[in-house]
Amino acid sequence: MLVLGLETSCDETGVALFDSERGLLADALYSQVDIHVEYGGVVPELASRDHVRKTLPMVEEVLRSAGVAGADLDGVAYTAGPGLVGALMVGATLARALAWGWGVPALGVHHMEGHLLAPMLEDERPEFPFVALLVSGGHTQLVRVDGIGRYRLLGESLDDAAGEAFDKTAKLLGLPYPGGPHIARLAAEGDPARFDFPRPMVGKPGLDFSFSGLKTYALNTVEDCRAAGGPSEKDCRDIARAFEDAVVDTLVIKCRRALRQEGLKTLVIAGGVSANRNLRASLTEALARERARVFYPAPRFCTDNGAMIAFAGAQRLAAGQRDDADTAVRPRWPMEELPPLEGAA
């Protein structure tokens, strides 16, 4: 099955072409970071307008790169939620118009299911069942996955997602948006022994997360440094290191707890924060001691991208799913509401 995938949920425009037999044929990704950086975060109206400008030319680029015509497609998949409603509508409108014009079905895909299945794009795939850690700017969730559409939420952030906490702490340190990569670069040069940040909620039972208090701890540390005449560059590096270590340790502890609780030995991590090298190394080391394995997508498929939407869409289109006439985008969309898909992937 040959499927075109469109991702326009937030501030990245992604387009990709996936073939069930040949794999990923072509993909293109455009980031709006330069547009939003001066505002310190995503401006929804600007995001929507830029998707309008970029998406169709990127569709043409991807089809041309793969040597494929619209008439060759078997379906068009697009992100239907969750996300910014205006941005979602851009992708949904274009995808459904293209599908109608080419005489093929369209299907709205759940953004987080796309992230969850992104490791399936790699040569070595995880096998069901597994525990998935979905960690991004808007979500931090632990999910038991028994198959496509067979999801059970184990725990989630009760306030800020991990990615949000990275962005807000970066802002405290005077770093530009998006903050995660800047925090990681500073942390690599920081002293891990200078500051000791708390690991929130690890002493309590359960698998929920909370990162707002960690952000407040970072703020108080910055204020202490300011009172002493800083924060200096060294202060910022050491704070970044302490913050990143606290987030990573918290995620690792919860992942190990989830695997033990579910009696599983396979973990999948996906979402923008899953590209963090410290997190990947710490999870790999921690799980190796328990004879468990961790799978993650290539770094370019950690952020929002069209390839994950094309792949997820191909699985469901192959099973006969498609949009109804009244299908709408969903800014909020619990993943547990997705119908199960037997025997896919």
Average pLDDT in the chain = 95
pTM over 0.85: yes
- The mean pLDDT value for 36-63 works out to 96
pLDDT at residue 325, as a whole number: 82
Using alpha carbons only, give the angle 115, 118, 122 rounded to the nearest 5 degrees: 165
Whether the per-residue pLDDT at 244 is higher than 70: the answer is yes
150-156 and 2-7 strand pairing: unpaired
Whether the per-residue pLDDT at 344 is higher than 60: the answer is no
Closest by Cα among 155, 114, 111 to 133: 155
> Annotated binding residues for Fe cation, as ranges?
111, 115, 304
Please, where are the H alpha helices in 28-84?
A: 33-36, 44-66
Segment 92-105, tens digit of pLDDT: 999 999 999 999 99
Place of tokens 């970044």: 240
**Which of 143-147, 317-321, 325-329 is predicted least confidently?**
325-329
How many CB atoms are closer than 10 A to CB 220?
9
Calpha distance 287→266 (Å, rounded): 9
pLDDT at residue 345, as a whole number: 47
Segment 207-230, tens digit of pLDDT: 999 999 999 999 999 999 999 999
38: its two tokens: 């001066």
Whether the per-residue pLDDT at 66 is higher than 80: the answer is yes
Segment 115-162, tens digit of pLDDT: 999 999 999 999 999 999 999 878 899 999 999 999 999 999 999 999
pLDDT at residue 326, as a whole number: 83
> Annotated binding residues, as ranges?
111, 115, 134-138, 167, 180, 276, 304
Which pLDDT band, with edges at 50, 70 and 90, does 343 fall under?
A: low
Q: What percent of the chain has pLDDT over 90?
A: 94
C-beta of residue 13 within 8 angstroms of C-beta of residue 302: no
Domains for the chain: give ranges and CATH numbers. 2-117+301-337 (3.30.420.40), 125-296 (3.30.420.40)
> Annotated binding residues for substrate, as ranges?
134-138, 167, 180, 276
288: its two tokens: 């190796």
Q: Higher pLDDT residue, 326 or 164?
A: 164
224: its two tokens: 């202490």
